[in-house]
Chains A and B, each alone.
Chain A
Amino acid sequence: MTIIQDRPGPQPGAPHGTLVEEPLTEFVPGPRPRGWVKFITSTDHKQIGLNYMVTAFIGFLTAGLMAEGMRTQLIAPNNHFVTPDIYDQLLTMHGTIMLFVFLGPFAFGLANYIVPLQIGAPDMAFPRFNNLSYWLYLGGFIVMTGGFLTNNGAANFGWFGYAPLTNAIHAPGPGADMWLIGIALTGFSGIFTAVNTITTVFCLRAPGMVMFRMPIFVWNQLVTMFLVLLAFPVLTSALGLLWADRHLNTHFYEPGGGGQPILWQHLFWFFGHPEVYILALPYFGVVTEVIATMSKKPVFGYKGMIGATLSIGGLSMGVWAHHMYTTGAVLLPFFAALSLLIAVPTGIKFFNWIGTMWRGTITLNTAMLFTVGFLAMFLFGGITGVVLAQPPLDFQLHNTYFVVAHFHYVMFGGSVFAVFASIYYWFPKYTGRMLDERLGKLSFALLFIGFNLTFFPQHDLGLRGMSRRIAVYDSNLGYNFLNALSTTGAYITGIGVIPTLINIFKSMRTGAIAGDNPWDGQTLEWATSSPPPDHNFESLPPIRSERPLWDANHPDELTRVGH
């Protein structure tokens, strides 16, 4: 159906005044299916966004259970809860699902749901491609996890699958192929989503929503999608070559046949490092939104924030080989310099977040608590990142538990806490109902304590020389107590997810009615009903700053530059 945009202008004499009442869009309504048919055929970006987020969360729970299995194996030295082979399968699928099925796609779900709303668009630019990318993603999830049902089990060579451990001799059976094809499917889905989001942001903004008025969340999603556009094709082709090696007897990664195993490492990490930022930048956006809203302030240093995002994006494409320092085959100073440089824009973001809270009116609700948790944990993960960026220290710590601790601080303490913040922040928009604060705070407390108990001791384990990806360890090396502590923490973390699950199921039906704008929000998603109607807006306030809704609701409290 064609939409003819028919937007009324702001009412004369009220530049920052009341919302405009006339309908914003006129469109010929098509069939409006419900239930399963809606789930399968809907091209509404909100439905697809929710599909993504719910599926991704199921991925989180699946991979989380695998993690509990691994931690149970590691609770004591020389333990035999699972065999080494099963441990390797759990390890590989835990990592793969967390990254390719949970953390990335959850951000894609947010991009789908929130970006069009925040820029005042009726939908994504290519609604049907959007629907298609969801199916490819779901297919990828099912295919890669299905490996557990095959005779040889799922893939067992770690999430970055270093050749030649992945070839037909060392990894026989369909499990490895299912891993490979599953990732490729999610990769295609990611590329489609990127194209879709970029086009949406470039072509469907509401009048007056110039680039430098877009919320930081939209900017971060935009930069993320550009990274996806660069990284995922490289990964997909690397997987294609691997598939050819396995099935067509080519020798791209085969040392015997003139190939180079290290080629895989270059291709993989040229994807892999931008991927790390694909998993982080959207969540930087989330916490920026939450901090600004909960502090009732504009984002401090808005333009600097955008500059920082852009430079993180740019630099992240030139640092892939910091994952390859110990191969002895890369140019160390080049990669060390660029890697250390990334700390600078990241630092800018931190100070801007603090500046946003500074002299604000801070509401410390669950969304904000998770955001503060994010700040603390990501800070710590960032500092250990600066440690690992230095080749001589990486020679000491690479592939030890120090690295495991580092990236869990970044991805769990960082991004996953932001996932929870986003749930508590935008749930009212998705459903029209508020989440329960008491359950939310309980969930936060358990996750925060459990998480730190799990991963803080792992820094020390790494320094003591415990290498990662081992299924059993020696009882005489001083690892025992710290591992037991870590596993205890993992159980507490696991329990910590439950209150949020209960909260979601309960509040969906019985939560307090949220209304359009429960947080006194500043951006356009709060200018429509909760949940928003088809094609999103009945009316829009005039867009004259990066906070159109705030301007409309607080005509006397406009942004001032300086202090």
Chain B
Amino acid sequence: MSSLSGRLLATNFGSPPGVTVGDKYVRSLWHITYYIGTPLAALVVGLIIWCLVRYRVKPGEEHRVPAQFQYHIPLEVAYTIIPLILVAVIFGFLYGGEDKITNVSKNPAIKITAEGFQWGWRFTYPNGHQEQGTYQAETNINSVANLPVLYMPANETVQIRLISDDVDHGFYIPAFLFQRDMIPGVNNVVDLNVTKTGTYLGECDQLCGVYHSYMRFKVDVMPPSTFNSWMSSQAPHSITNAGVHQ
């Protein structure tokens, strides 16, 4: 619970920190929504509580009939126009940020294909090397040891093509504050630019059948030089199966 209140009150304004370049757009939207939403909610709740406390019938005045007023045009116009402006402000902010997040670059540093299937992941690199793994290797949901791994370089634009051949899946990495669906027949391409090296957990977040909960993967974000040497050590069209010892 302490972390919950911390999450709400600390400078994060709701969101945990993200590790991609998109983070600052997401964060700015959280901020603007908080700045607008919190006072507004406080005002509305305050007014409701005020009404209940102040105008609640006291013993003995059950039959008092209050003044029967009904319209106040200036007031009504005000509470139509002001929200309209606030909403326009939010829209202005998101219109800019959203473009930055969905934009795909013409010449990314590397292109990777990520395929979701029932129930596992397959990541294909430009030279045909594949990293893959299924739920069967994942003996226990409490362990991430045998999950398939998506390797990628930090601070570079990594372009990922998201495909699926059977049912809908979802490519979701909480720490990236980002997800995109994998839908048969829809060609989805996303750019990721991660600013912090490390290992992150990814999950399928689109219900895709019985073992959906087990359909997870790891993302290993490495310094570009490390990534390059890893890449060159992978033979073309080789396959690494997670949790299976070669």
- Chain A residues with a Cβ under 8 A of chain B: 77-78, 84-85, 88, 156-158, 162, 164-165, 170, 255, 259-262, 295-304, 326-329, 332-333, 336-337, 340-341, 343-344, 347-348, 350-352, 354-355, 357-364, 372, 375-376, 379-380, 383, 386-387, 390-393, 395-396, 398-400, 457, 460, 463-465, 467-478, 481-482, 485, 554, 557-563
Contact = CB atoms under 8 A, between A and B. Distances in A.
A362 B56 contact: yes
Interface of B: 1, 3-4, 7, 14-16, 18, 22, 25-26, 29-30, 33, 37, 40-41, 44-45, 47-48, 51-52, 55-57, 61-62, 64-72, 75-76, 79-80, 83-84, 87, 90-91, 94-95, 97-98, 101-102, 140-142, 144, 165-168, 170, 172, 174-175, 177-181, 183-186, 188, 190, 201, 203-214
A467 B70 contact: no
A399 B206 contact: yes
Contact of B211 (A84, A298, A485): A84
- Residue of A260, A343, A352 with most partner-chain B CB within 10 A: A343
A465 B64 CA distance: 53
Top 9 nearest A-B pairs (CB, nearest first) are A465-B174, A467-B205, A255-B184, A563-B69, A470-B213, A357-B51, A399-B205, A396-B177, A328-B188
Contacts of B142: 77-78, 474-476
A554 B30 CA distance: 50
B5 to A, nearest CB: 10
A469 B215 CA distance: 12
Contact of A340 (B91, B165, B178): B91
Interface SS majority for chain B: mixed
Contacts of A476: 142, 144
B68 A376 contact: no
B212 to A, nearest CB: 7
Nearest to B206: A399
Given A326-B179, A364-B56, A354 B68 contact: no
A392 B22 contact: yes
Contact of A326 (B1, B180, B207): B180
A361 B65 contact: yes
A328 B168 contact: no
Contacts of B61: 361
Contacts of A262: 183, 185-186
Nearest to A547: B68
8 contacts: A341-B87, A343-B87, A344-B80, A376-B45, A386-B33, A392-B101, A467-B204, A559-B69
A393 B30 contact: yes
B7 A460 contact: yes
B181 A560 contact: no
A157 B181 contact: no
Contacts of A352: 76
Contacts of B52: 357, 362, 364, 372
A368 to B, nearest CB: 9
A562 B71 contact: yes
A463 B17 CA distance: 10
Contacts of B68: 297-298, 557-560
Contacts of B76: 301, 304, 348, 351-352
A254 B168 CA distance: 12
A470 B214 CA distance: 8
B70 A561 contact: yes
Given A386-B90, A560-B69, A379 B97 contact: no
A395 B179 contact: yes
B218 to A, nearest CB: 12
A474 B141 CA distance: 5
A199 B10 CA distance: 55
A473 B183 CA distance: 24
For B25, B68, B174, B206, the residue with the greatest tally of chain A CB atoms inside 10 Å of its CB is: B68
